[in-house]
Amino acid sequence: MKTKMNIKNITAIAALVIMSFVFLNMSFAANTIETETPTEETTTTTTEEKNETEEVENTEEATTEENAQDENTEEVQQTEESTEPEQQETQIQNGKYFIADNIKLKVVPLITATSTQEIQKNQEVNVEKVINGWAYIEEATTGTKGWIRTEKLKTEEQKQADDQAADEAAKAAAEEADKNAPAIKKVYVQPEKVNLRKENSTESETIGKLPQNTEVEVISEDSKWSKCRVNGMIGFISTQYLGNKKVETTSRASKAREVTADTQLHDVAASGTGAEIAAFARSLVGKSYVSGGVGPNAFDCSGLTMYVFGHFGISLPHYSESQRNYGRAVDRSELAPGDLVCYRGHVAIYIGGGQVVHAGSSKTGVCITTVDRAKSGAYICSRRLV
């Protein structure tokens, strides 16, 4: 009986302990829930504050961007204001202009409008009115009128600058072409010194001075001027100062081939007599005079003598002053048919009877005249080549 009571007591105590344990757990759980709830509220509050902070930051960034945009806008406005005077300087107004490029006129100031007559580049026009980037123009020569865009016009100063640039480009291209152009022949300077000129005119700038026997390449030529390439330069030389062979000159060192009254410069024997030379010269009377001409239908003075003596196997340079060094000297009183008569800047062939055949001028052509009248007061000497 006593044992049963003990068991009941133990059971009751155990039940009490379990109930206490359960109660404690429930209380702990309730406290935990109450503790966690404020944490969630705190988290919510922190999130809201963070969002507000981000909004403030975004607002500040937006304000900064707006300020930057305002500054950029002010800079653009200032730039536009600073460029306004330049735009005004180039603004098309009524007056004389030139067409910048080939363009067709419009009947009304619209891109889609019907096109009429084409106006050529650099044509002069008169602007009568300007509306919204369009100009109403009148073509200077024909009076044709119509509309074109203002950017298709240029001032006279702009046209001059464009023309100058085009000329310089064309000259540069021509010079480059000349440097690579094949030579049509090689010749030699006949006088002691000759000018290489920039253009084919005696008034043109001298770009070099070439000594006698300088070899030059001829690119092109006419009766008066030869376009030559020499020492990397391109220029013009009077055709009459160029010859196919070098001029034989006296050597001071060896005294070789010295030209005197007793020696003859050329080893080539003449194949004809003086009378035959005179007769052949007479046969050319009536031919034309052309500066630089060497025959057979037109001559200048040294070209004629070179041609006549060349017919008989005697080679002369195409230069009157150089021809004085050929053959042997003869006194004027001893002149015979076939002799070379030398003047200052002129040569002729003696045919007897006090007369010579020479290429006088474009008016006289090849003609017969007296020794004195061939070039009055300019007689220098006479040479006999046969």
The better pLDDT of the pair 57, 321 is held by 321
Give the three-state DSSP class for 43: helix
Q: At residue 137, does pLDDT exceed 90?
A: yes
Kindly state whether residues 228 and 279 are assigned to the same domain. Answer: no
- Within-domain flag for 70: yes
Q: pLDDT band for 380, please (50, 70, 90 cuts).
A: very high
Examine residue 164 and state whether it is found in any structural domain, yes or no.
no
How far apart are alpha carbons 100 and 153 in whole angstroms? 5
**Residue at a domain's end among 224, 243, 262:** 243
Does residue 12 or residue 294 have the better pLDDT?
294
Query: What's the CATH code of the domain at 278?
Result: 3.90.1720.10
Confidence check: pLDDT of 177 > 60: yes
Same domain, 372 and 282: yes
pLDDT at 343 over 60: yes
Whether residue 77 is contained in a domain is answered as yes
Q: What percent of the chain has pLDDT over 70?
A: 71
- 182 by DSSP, 3-state: which? coil
- Whether 185 and 242 have beta carbons less than 8 Å apart is answered as no
Lowest mean pLDDT among 76-80, 180-184, 231-235: 76-80
pLDDT of residue 179: 75
Query: What backbone phi and psi angles, to 5 degrees, belong to 254?
Result: -105, -10
Model confidence, pTM: 0.37
Contacts of 275 (CB under 8 A, 6+ apart): 337, 338
| 39-53, 121-135, 233-247, 268-282: least confidently modelled range | 39-53
Helix (H) or strand (E) holding 65: helix 2-89
> CA torsion sign, 374 to 260 to 299 to 222?
negative
Q: Does residue 303 share a domain with residue 354? A: yes
Domain of residue 61: give its range. Answer: 1-87
CATH number for 200: 2.30.30.40
Q: What's the average model confidence in pLDDT over 84-102?
A: 73
Give pLDDT, residue 30: 45
| pLDDT of amino acid 370 | 94
One domain, residues 76 and 107: no
Please check the confidence at residue 36 and state whether its pLDDT lies above 80: no
Instruction: Note whether residue 216 is domain-resident.
Output: yes
Please indicate, yes or no, if residue 19 is contained in any of the structural domains.
yes
- Identify whether residues 59 and 99 lie together within a single domain: no
Looking at the structure, do residues 100 and 46 belong to the same domain, yes or no? no
* Residue 359 contacts residue 299 (beta carbons within 8 Å): yes
Instruction: Clarify whether residues 285 and 372 are in a common domain.
Output: yes
Asked if residue 255 belongs to a domain, the reply is: no
pLDDT at 281: 95
Q: Is residue 232 part of a domain?
A: yes
Cβ count near 108 (within 10 Å): 11
Tell me: do 282 and 367 sit in the same domain.
Answer: yes
Question: Does residue 310 sit in the same domain as residue 288?
Answer: yes
Q: Which residues pair with 383 in a beta bridge?
A: 329, 340
pLDDT computed for residue 78 by the predictor? 43
Residue 343: inside a domain, yes or no? yes
Say if CB 225 and CB 239 are below 8 A apart.
Answer: yes
pLDDT band at 188 (very low <50, low <70, confident <90, very high): very high
User: 257-313 pLDDT, tens per residue?
Assistant: 333 322 333 333 344 688 999 999 999 999 999 988 888 899 999 999 999 998 888
Residues carrying an active site annotation: 301, 346, 358
Last residue of a domain, one of 28, 56, 87: 87
How far, CA to CA in Å, does 15 sit from each of 22, 42, 204? 11, 41, 137
Domain match, 145 and 194 both: no
Number of domains the chain contains: 4
Last residue of a domain, one of 60, 87, 114: 87
What does the pLDDT read at residue 87? 37
64-73, 214-223, 317-326: range with lowest mean pLDDT: 64-73
